[in-house]
A and B are shown apart, each in its own frame.
Chain A
């Protein structure tokens, strides 16, 4: 098993600090979900992990060796970036097949037959210019590059953002198929959480340039609860726990609890329900809660 690790990463753009002392560990052979709001630092973190962007401070290593300008380490990593239909010099006039040829030259383990299969599946006209592609087509091309790269560690940044519901389902199935067959590592960033949550073995939550959690998804959710009932009863039952996003409706109160370990019982006076990853994430981000005492 390999480990891609970022240690104490700080990234500043001018006076703005985009990543504040971030440390992450990516173990190979797992599917990771990187979730965070727009502007939370997802893309910056991914581009730094893959040495496409230098960190202001901190170190990125693959199996202990720095990845920066290290061709051997980087040959195991694919970061399929969002493709821009415009460049600094005007419309991106590159044809899809030229873009794919560049990727083919770049990735050592490129699987041409697989790429062709995916082009057909997503119905891409490779003679088209990048500037003429729809949002969905652009997303599909980045997915094709990511999958056909056959890189050990493959990073997809918001891969489903432009896709319609049919293509999104196809994408999730492709990832599971490829992962089941090869055990490649995937890191998928998204803010469309609900439909992708069950795909992630581990989840990394980033908010405002800081990593809030990195945990096994299932274990993480097993410690989260939505506790509701009479205000006094809820306050009593959740005393001492870390709570997020309390809401009141008349004498009723609802809070999201994130405990350190699964809780056997909150007592008979309150209603307890599980929380989905999306709702937990939401509760954390609108946080008006209190720290554990």
Chain B
């Protein structure tokens, strides 16, 4: 759970991403129930319609599914679908930014590659 929603993106997108993050981190497991629209809207003080929109995006992406009369659940295979999609966006969301910043401060490709190779995080 995020403490606060930011302003850099539509709120419904942030709700969707937050649930995806929790699935990736294993806080929400496949076939587990996710918080309801009402719970989400109360927690974040957002309009229930906005929370529902965030949830519905994940239903469209086959990350969540609805059990009638019970609520929303994480689909089997959701995690790998999220990973697949994020991999596709990885270049645009992250790599491009790194290259732009590197250019700005004069780090060349060679140096950048070396940094990645030497990184203790990887």
Contact = CB atoms under 8 A, between A and B. Distances in A.
A125 B53 CA distance: 41
Given A198-B5, A198-B11, A274-B8, A177 B42 contact: yes
A176 B11 contact: no
Given A180-B37, A198-B45, 13 more contacts: A172-B45, A176-B41, A176-B45, A177-B38, A177-B42, A179-B48, A198-B44, A198-B47, A201-B47, A201-B49, A217-B47, A218-B11, A218-B53
A173 B8 CA distance: 24
A173 B48 contact: no
B50 interface: yes
Contacts of A200: 47
11 contacts: A30-B49, A169-B45, A176-B38, A180-B38, A180-B48, A198-B44, A198-B50, A217-B47, A218-B11, A218-B53, A222-B10
The 6 closest A-B pairs by CB, nearest first: A198-B46, A180-B38, A172-B45, A276-B7, A201-B47, A201-B49
Contacts of A169: 45
Interface residues of A, number: 21
A31 interface: yes
B12 A173 contact: no
B48 A274 contact: no
Contact of B45 (A173, A201, A274): A173
| Interface SS of A by simple majority | helix
Given A274-B7, A276-B7, A176 B48 contact: yes
Nearest to A179: B48
B9 interface: yes
Contacts of A30: 49
Given A176-B41, A180-B41, A198-B5, A218 B50 contact: yes
Interface string A244-282: 000000000000000000000000000001101000000
Contacts of A137: none
Contacts, number: 50
B46 A199 contact: yes
Q: Bin the interface of chain B by size.
A: 10 to 19
B63 to A, nearest CB: 21
B77 to A, nearest CB: 30
A200 B45 CA distance: 10
A291 B121 CA distance: 51
Instruction: State the majority secondary structure of interface residues on B.
Output: helix
Interface of A: 30-31, 169, 172-173, 176-177, 179-180, 195, 198-201, 217-218, 221-222, 273-274, 276
A222 B8 CA distance: 11
Interface of B: 5, 7-12, 37-38, 41-42, 44-50, 53
Contacts of A176: 38, 41-42, 45-48
Contacts of B41: 176, 180
A117 B49 CA distance: 27
Contacts of A274: 7-10
Nearest to B42: A176
Contacts of B53: 218
A175 to B, nearest CB: 9
Contacts of B8: 273-274
B10 A218 contact: yes
B42 A199 contact: no
Contact of A173 (B7, B42, B47): B42
Contacts of B48: 176, 179-180
B5 to A, nearest CB: 7
Contacts of A177: 38, 42
B7 A31 contact: no
